[in-house]
Structures are given as structure tokens and as C-alpha cells.
Amino acid sequence: MRRLHPAVVLLLCAFAAVAGCGERERADGPPASVLHRGNAFEPETLDPHRVRSVETFNIIRDLYEGLIAEQPGGELGPGVAETWTVSEDGLTWRFRLRDNARWSNGDAVTAEDFAWSLRRAVHPDTGSYYAQMLSVIEDISVPEPGVLVLHLSGPTPYLPGLLAQPIAYPVHRATVETHGERFTRPGLNVSNGAYRIVEWEAHSHVRVERNLYYWNDERTRIHAVVFHPIEAESTELARYRAGDLHMTRTIPVQQYEWLQRNLSDELHVTPYLSTYFYGFNLTKPPFQGNLPLRKALSLAIDREVLAEQVVGSGEVPAYAWVTPGIDNYETQRPEWADWPRDQRLAEARRLYAEAGYSARNPLRVELRYNTAESHRRIAVAIASMWREQLGVEATLHNEEWQVFLNSRQSQQLEVYRSGWVGDYNDANTFAEAMMSTHGLNDMGWKNEEYDQLVVAAGRERDPAARRELLEQAERLLLSEYPVMPIYYYVSKALVKPTVGGYVPNVMNVHPSRHLYLRD
Amino acid sequence: MLAHSVKRVVGAVPTLFILITLAFFMMRLAPGGPFDAEKALAPEVQANLDRIYHLDEPLPAQYARYLGNVVRGDLGPSFQYQDWTVNELIARGLPVSLRLGVTALVLALLLGVTAGTLAALRQNAATDHAVMTAAMTGISIPNFVMAPLLILVFAVWLGWLPAGGWSGGALRNMLLPVVVLTLPLVAYIARLTRGSMIEVLRSDYIRTARAKGLPERTVVLRHALRPALLPVVSFLGPAIAALLSGSLVVEQIFGLPGIGRYFVQGALNRDYTLVMGVVIFYGSLVIVMNVIVDLVYAWLDPKVRY
């Protein structure tokens, strides 16, 4: 008798049950008006007031629109606010909302929506990361329908930049009040941007489709956008090359040269509002009170080699703190930045000796960074430059990210790797980060004059005078060497030639409503 | 047998309890917290977040609260994925991981047992060598090498299959991940089956079966296979563990929305509740699977009785 073994039958049944129950396959390839974007991480939340990562901002920017919005080139312009005026003293901003602004359920977007949302954004229960960004707003009022008035504690010329951030986006009050934390879900969420959310499969994708009520919907050309969270850069590249994605968020750095050779038309490398630097712990020896030592170490590294050869994917050597390309600002450079390398090294050796170190009594220092191949390469290069030029004996120590942050914030280290991404296109976002009270200042650098300059710049109404104050603050910072800037980041992305309307910009923002797909 | 199974499952409760306790305190001992960022939070914001998530309470109180919630089946809110509860995340990831895992396991058993049996029947012949060489290759190539390689060939060069993504579990999306998960298992199972099959085929009762003139097919399938499968069944426990850890890598590389991904990301992000939820889930799964393996063993081997 021919009979299958019962175990085999069982296995076959289980296999059929499991493998066979998949949903039907999708049509081959996406339809022309669906844009697929690689977007790094699973969104931590889609609540504009609680969102933290720049990657998730990409989704939020498609779903919502603030009073001010990014235009195709990343510059700021009218969003929900059609026009605005600023009072003589720079303290009162009056926004007139466009009357055709609608939520995705058809409700009108009102000035009260903005007033309520701004208050929600800073309310303790919301637990917002960026609440401090709005601290300049003292009072909010709605004197007449369609008009929102913000009273500020000091003149803030960069207010439009703040208002274009997710923290200042409106949320739909009734939806939030009805659904609580679930208001971001597809089916429940109501948004006011060019798109509305239709699918959110955690760790798979977020799909948004055109909001037909959006005031500028007739200019929206892409019907739907799918954001794919892909953490591994090599996977993102593979999926891009396989045609699954139109745009990547970044590229694997090791593949930079290959991409330059083979996909140069699709590779976009753009200066980005971000600085890679090392911080010195100023609360402990050897760096506490030892300016010559910090300066010697900063002079001894070869930033051209670090940026162009060690990192080597278009990064720019950094001699200063504020990234170049910021509106109404000239990045300051220390005098020695223009010296020839030999002169710099001679000065570095002189300062090293002045600090009390020599070949017989070398500096022994630990260099700490968060675990990543790219950071390790830089740390190795810096340690060897220090050893070669000064005889410093540096040891390397890497830590997993959360452990590293903990070590930094409790100042349990000596020299450490760090980075800063500006929040908006104004020098203030960099100047502020070095103030003694700021959360990035793990160096323990306290300089009253610096703090006063930045505060004074915040009060200054004249743009030229304000700029001078901020530039003066940066010069002061650079002369004190609490940090050692290394390079300015660049944003790197692959964009298919079929994607139109992609304009590289320093903020690296590319709202889908400005893009289109060529046939 | 039923009584035995119930006893085994009940006996697993203290094991789970110890697992939860260890995992809870180990997570908390790791430096850093779920809300740390490069730019330290304003103290008042940090305080609010701690209050909202009860992180301001003393650790024993948090532990008691957590245990209480677990008993009620509530694994709490995720710290990293703030819009979701851990229950929701596991419920969404489970079908993906389960389909991958079960498909891989079933395929591995079918292919592995078949290949192993064939190799044993043609011992030291070409088939045998071919199967064993393939098996060695399958065991030797780690999944994090195999996966990118397959992606490069089948997705990037040939363009036959997607390079990743789930698309609701479409067959073409499942193919490569399943292959990567299956291959090492097939290899192990084939080697195990071959070894034990060779031994069984040499035993007296097989000689008896052959002597009374049974066709070779019956001898192998009815008399030899069942006892020969015992080591394979014992291997199922470790196999399931291998599938779970393999799925961590595979889900990551192929960008699949399964539970394995939460585990890695959750641990890195100090997402206490999510990691705990996955630990509890995996722990329970391994315990239940071991009970099932025992039952299958008893069914296959008449000498084992509960």
C-alpha cells in the first residue's frame, strides 16, 4: 500500500496553510504617481509635537503644514499663513491665515487650531523634545477669525524657521481629544498637509495619499508616497538599485567611490547644516584650565586628510563651529586656518610644550566615541596624527550609543566625538548649542561673556548688529577651544532620474508635494 | 499524556518568572535610558516623560507594577514607538515572523529529511557526496553573508525578486528570506538524518524486514524513517532557537516587519517594555515548543511514555 508517512502529511498541511495564505501579490512595480522613499528608521511617533528624528520629519512634513512652509528649494515661504507682519519692536507677529486651508476631513484650518496646537506642543503632558524651541513665544491670541498673533519675549528674526518645524504644526483638536495617543493612526488621523496617512505597518512602511482638501492640491503631482524604514544603508542601496525605491535617505560611505563612478547622475552630495566635532571635558584634568593643550591638539590634526581621505564622501574640513551657507552669517575662521601646515605644526608643538608635555612626559589621553565604523576610522586617524606630530599617547574607547551618552552627560570621559545638526537656517541654532546651559554642552564650558553675547543677539533688532554679535560669539568660542571642529557634514542621497523637482538644499528637506515623476 | 503536557506548561511558570525578573533588572542596569539624546533633554521635559511612563518610581515599585500588568496580559506602551503598545507591536510582527519561521522549518524538514535519507541510501556514492558537500556549504556560510549575496544576484543583477520589504507577505518577497533561513537548517537536518538513517538501516529489524521480502520503499519509509527521525526531532528545539536568532538578522537585512527587528532595535533604544515583551513572548514560545517536541518524540518512539 502506498501511503505517505503521517508526519509528512502533517508537514505538508502546515506548509500549505502557512505559505499559501499570503495576500495577493501587488501589481508588478509601482504605478507612476507613487513615490517610494527610503527613510532610515521606523517613525518613533507621527505626532508632530513629539517627533524627534529628522527622518520622521520627512513624513510629518508631508502630512502637516505650519504657518510657514518650505518652498521647493528649501527656502521659507507662506504655508497656512498667507501673509504676516512684524511690529516695530519685533515682538509681535501677526499672521493672516489663508481662508481655503482645510483639514483632510474638510474642516477649515483656523487660527484657534494653531493657538491650541502651540499650547499643546509646550504643555508638560505632551512630553515634547523640542518644546524649548517655542520658549520665545510669550503669548498667543486670536483677535479676529483667521488672524493669529504671537507675542515674543525678544525679537526673533528666525521665527519663520521655528514655525516651519513640526513642533509648530497644527494638530486637529477634535481628533486628538477623542482618540488621545492613537490620533496618529490611519483611519483616525486628520492632517492639514498635502497628504494624509492611509497605511502604517510598523517596520514595513508608511503610506500617505493626496489630501484632496489641501489648499494647493491642484499643484500636488504625486498621488501617493510610501516611506520605507530601512536601517541598513547597504540594504537601502540594494533596494534602490533593484528599483524598489525612487530616493534613498543616504548611501553606504564605503560605496561612495563606486557610486561616483557608476551612478554619478543620481548621486546628490550637498552641504548640510551640521558639524562633526570632538569635545574636551573641561571639568577635569588634563583639559581643565589648559588652553594651550587644547589648542595644540586642535592645530595638530590635518582636517583635509580627515574630511577628504578618512571620511571621503564629499565632507568639508571644518575650522569653525557654525556651518557655512547659513543666511546672513559669515562663518568665522581662526587665524591659523590659513597658515601652511608646517607653521601650524610648529605652533602646535610649541603650545604642547607650553602646556607642560614633552617626549619624555607625553600626554596620555583617552578618546571616546560611539560604536560605528566611521567614527572609529576618524578616531584612529586623529590618534595617529597626535602621536606623530606631538607624541601624544591616545587610547581609543568605543561605547554603544546610550552608554556613550550617559558617559558624556555625566562627564566621565576626556575627549569625545560629537555632532550637531542645526534646527533651522540661522546661526542662532549653532550659537545657542554652546551656551553653558545647553543640553549639547557636555564639555562643561562656561563662559559668561559668550552667553551674554548670544542672549544679546537674541534681543537685537538690527540684522547687521545681530549678525556681528553672533560672529563675535563664535570668535570667542573658537579662541577658547572647548571643542575641536573636524568636518561639516554633507547630505548624501540617490535620486532616480525619473524624479523631478528635487532641489538639493542645506536643510536637506524635500517635501513630496514639490516633487513629480517623469513618465 | 495530556496531564503530562499540562504539568509541563504549568511547570514553566516559575521559569518565565525568573526570565522576566532577570530581563527586567538587566535592562535597567544597562547605562542610559529610553529618552536620552545627543542634546540632553530639559530637566522639566525629562521629568514629565519619567512621570508619564512611571520611570520616576523606585525600581521595585516599577517591577511590581510591571508584573501586575503582565499577569493581566498588558505589556505596556512602547517607549521608542510612542504611538503603539507592545501588545499591538507583537500582534503585528507575529504573523510575519511566524510565517517566515514555520515556512522555513517545514521546508527545512522536508528537504533535509529527503536529502539525508537519499544520502544514507546511496552511502559514499555521488548523491551522498553531493548532499554532504552542499550541507557543509549551507552550514558554513553565515546568514549575514548569504542574504546580501542573494540580494545582489537575484534582486540587483537579475531583477527577478525584490531586494526587501514584505508587501503583505507576497511569495516573491518571502522567497529570499525563507531561503536564507532554511539553508543552514536543511544542512543540519540532512546530516542528522543521514547519520541516524545509516545506523538504523544496519539494525537487525531492518534486516528482518528485508529478509521477509518487503519492498525497499516500505522498508525505508515505514520501518527505518520513524526511528531515524528521533535525533531530528530532538534537534527541533535548538532549530527553533536558531530560527528565532536567524530571523533577527534576516528581518533586519530584508527589512521585514517581524518581531526579531523589535528585539534588536528595542535593546539599542532602551525600549524597556518592548524588549521585555519580546523576551516574554520568545521565552513562552520556546517553552511551548519544547513541550510539543516531547510529545512528538513520544509518538515516534514507543519506548518513551508519559
Q: Give the CATH number, domain containing residue B97.
A: 1.10.3720.10
pLDDT in tens, A253-311: 888 999 999 999 999 999 899 999 999 999 999 999 999 999 999 999 999 999 999 98
Find the residue in A nearest to B270 (Cα): A402
- Smallest Cα distance from A182 to chain B, Å: 6
**What's the pLDDT at A32?**
52
Does A19 have pLDDT greater than 80? Answer: no
Find the residue in B nearest to A417 (Cα): B38
Residue B147 vs residues A237, B120, B142, B156: alpha-carbon distances, Å: 14, 30, 9, 13
| Grid coordinates belonging to B197 | 538513517
Best residue in A36, A203, A368 to probe B by mutation, most B CBs within 10 Å? Answer: A203
Please report residues of A whose CB lies closer than 8 A to that of B265: 42, 231
What domain range is B248 assigned to? 86-305
Question: What are φ and ψ of residue B221, in 5° steps?
Answer: -75, -40
**What's the pLDDT at A18?**
45
User: Which regions of A306-412 does DSSP assign to beta strands (E)?
Assistant: 316-317, 364-370, 393-399
Does A394 have pLDDT greater than 90? Answer: yes
Q: How many angstroms separate the CA atoms of B287 and B12, rounded? A: 7
Task: Check the CA dihedral B199-B201-B203-B205 and report its sign.
Answer: positive
| Residue B79 contacts residue B34 (beta carbons within 8 Å) | yes
- Smallest Cα distance from B125 to chain A, Å: 26
Question: What are φ and ψ of residue A208, in 5° steps?
Answer: -120, 145
Burial class of A45 by CB neighbour count within 10 A (0 to 12, 13 to 18, 19+): buried
Task: Report the amino acid identity of residue B199.
Answer: E
**Cβ–Cβ of A440/B39 closer than 8 Å?**
yes
**Cβ–Cβ of B30/A232 closer than 8 Å?**
no
3-state secondary structure of A138: strand
Indicate whether B72 belongs to any domain: no
Contact partners, residue A305, CB within 8 Å, separation at least 6:
A381, A385
Indicate whether B233 belongs to any domain: yes
- At A193, the pLDDT band (50, 70, 90 cuts) reads very high
- At B141, the pLDDT band (50, 70, 90 cuts) reads confident
Indicate whether B170 belongs to any domain: yes
Q: What does CATH list as the number for A31-234+495-517? A: 3.40.190.10
Say what angle helices B259-268 and B86-121 make with each other, to 10 degrees.
120
Q: How many angstroms separate the CA atoms of A192 and B65, rounded? A: 39
Q: How many angstroms separate the CA atoms of B250 and B253, rounded? A: 5
- Smallest Cα distance from B14 to chain A, Å: 31
**What's the pLDDT at B305?**
64
- At A349, the pLDDT band (50, 70, 90 cuts) reads very high
CB atoms within 10 A of CB A265: 10
**Greater confidence, A507 or A3?**
A507
Indicate the average pLDDT of chain A: 90
Nearest to A235 among B93, B110, B253 (CB): B253
**Greater confidence, A88 or B245?**
A88
Long-range CB contacts (within 8 A, 24+) of B12-18? B12/B284, B12/B287, B12/B288, B12/B291, B15/B283, B15/B287, B16/B280, B16/B283, B16/B284, B16/B287
Best residue in B39, B107, B217 to probe A by mutation, most A CBs within 10 Å? Answer: B39
Does B237 have pLDDT greater than 60? Answer: yes
**What's the pLDDT at A22?**
37
Lowest mean pLDDT among A3-7, A356-360, A391-395, B118-122: A3-7
Task: Check the CA dihedral A166-A251-A487-A357 and report its sign.
Answer: positive
Nearest to A242 among B89, B92, B159 (CB): B159
Find the residue in B nearest to A241 (Cα): B156
Can you list the alpha helix ranges (DSSP code H) found in B58-161?
A: 59-71, 86-121, 126-140, 143-150
**Cβ–Cβ of A405/B38 closer than 8 Å?**
yes
Find the residue in B nearest to A186 (Cα): B83
Does A179 have pLDDT greater than 90? Answer: yes
Please report residues of A whose CB lies closer than 8 A to that of B48: 124-125, 127
| Residue A417 contacts residue A375 (beta carbons within 8 Å) | yes
Residue pointed to by grid coordinates 474638510:
A106
Instruction: Please compute the mean of the pLDDT values over residues A376-398 and round it to a whole number.
Output: 94
Indicate whether B69 belongs to any domain: no
CA A517, distance to chain mean position in Å, is 26
**What's the pLDDT at A287?**
94
**What's the pLDDT at A496?**
96
CB atoms within 10 A of CB B14: 9
Q: How many angstroms separate the CA atoms of A61 and A208, rounded? A: 11
Indicate whether B172 belongs to any domain: yes
Does A2 have pLDDT greater than 70? Answer: no
pLDDT in tens, A203-261: 889 999 999 999 999 999 999 999 999 888 888 999 999 888 999 999 998 889 999 99
| Alpha carbons within 13 A on the beta-carbon side of B173 | 27
Find the residue in A nearest to B151 (Cα): A238
Does A138 have pLDDT greater than 50? Answer: yes
**What's the pLDDT at A17?**
46
**Cβ–Cβ of B172/A25 closer than 8 Å?**
yes
- Smallest Cα distance from A274 to chain B, Å: 13
A-B contacts (CB, under 8 Å): 191
- Number of domains within chain B: 1
Contact partners, residue B179, CB within 8 Å, separation at least 6:
B150
Contact partners, residue A446, CB within 8 Å, separation at least 6:
A436
Spatial CA neighbour of B265 closest among A418, A44, A127: A44
**Cβ–Cβ of B226/A241 closer than 8 Å?**
no
**Cβ–Cβ of A439/B40 closer than 8 Å?**
yes
Residue pointed to by grid coordinates 491650541:
A116
| Residue A269 contacts residue A314 (beta carbons within 8 Å) | yes
Contact partners, residue B5, CB within 8 Å, separation at least 6:
B291, B295
Lowest mean pLDDT among A163-172, A177-186, B221-230: B221-230
Q: How many angstroms separate the CA atoms of A399 and A418, rounded? A: 13
- At A30, the pLDDT band (50, 70, 90 cuts) reads very low
Claim: this prediction has a pTM higher than 0.90: no
| Residue A169 contacts residue A48 (beta carbons within 8 Å) | yes
**Greater confidence, B263 or A45?**
A45
Please report residues of B whose CB lies closer than 8 A to that of A12: 110
Instruction: Please compute the mean of the pLDDT values over residues B6-29 and round it to a whole number.
Output: 86
- Smallest Cα distance from B169 to chain A, Å: 5
Whether residue A157 has a cis bond before it, omega within 30° of 0: no
Nearest to A238 among B39, B89, B156 (CB): B156
Burial class of A37 by CB neighbour count within 10 A (0 to 12, 13 to 18, 19+): buried
Indicate whether B266 belongs to any domain: yes
- The percent of chain B in helix, strand and coil, each rounded to the nearest 5, is 75, 0, 25
- CB environment A185-210: b (16+ within 10 A), e (fewer): eeeebbbbbbbbbeebbbbbbbbbbb
Residue pointed to by grid coordinates 504573523:
B95
**Cβ–Cβ of A402/B268 closer than 8 Å?**
yes
Nearest to B156 among A42, A129, A242 (CB): A242
- Smallest Cα distance from B119 to chain A, Å: 19
**What's the pLDDT at A391?**
94
| Residue A467 contacts residue A328 (beta carbons within 8 Å) | yes
pLDDT in tens, B170-179: 888 899 999 9
Spatial CA neighbour of A208 closest among A218, A192, A223, A221: A223
- At A13, the pLDDT band (50, 70, 90 cuts) reads very low
**Greater confidence, A5 or B131?**
B131
**What's the pLDDT at A1?**
39
Q: Where in chain A is the domain with CATH 3.10.105.10?
A: 275-491
pLDDT in tens, B195-209: 999 998 888 888 888
Please report residues of B whose CB lies closer than 8 A to that of A11: 106, 109-110
- Smallest Cα distance from B36 to chain A, Å: 7
**What's the pLDDT at A450?**
96
Find the residue in B nearest to A419 (Cα): B38
- Smallest Cα distance from A77 to chain B, Å: 28
Please report residues of A whose CB lies closer than 8 A to that of B261: 203
Find the residue in A nearest to B113 (Cα): A8
Q: What percent of chain A has pLDDT over 70?
A: 94
Nearest to A26 among B152, B167, B222 (CB): B167
Does A469 have pLDDT greater than 80? Answer: yes
Q: How many angstroms separate the CA atoms of A319 and A306, rounded? A: 12
- Smallest Cα distance from B204 to chain A, Å: 22
Indicate whether B81 belongs to any domain: no
* CATH class, A275-491 region: alpha beta
Best residue in A18, A249, A255 to probe B by mutation, most B CBs within 10 Å? Answer: A18
Phi-psi category of residue A508: left, alpha or beta, with phi > 0 → left and psi -120 to 50 → alpha? left
Q: Where in chain A is the domain with CATH 3.40.190.10?
A: 31-234+495-517
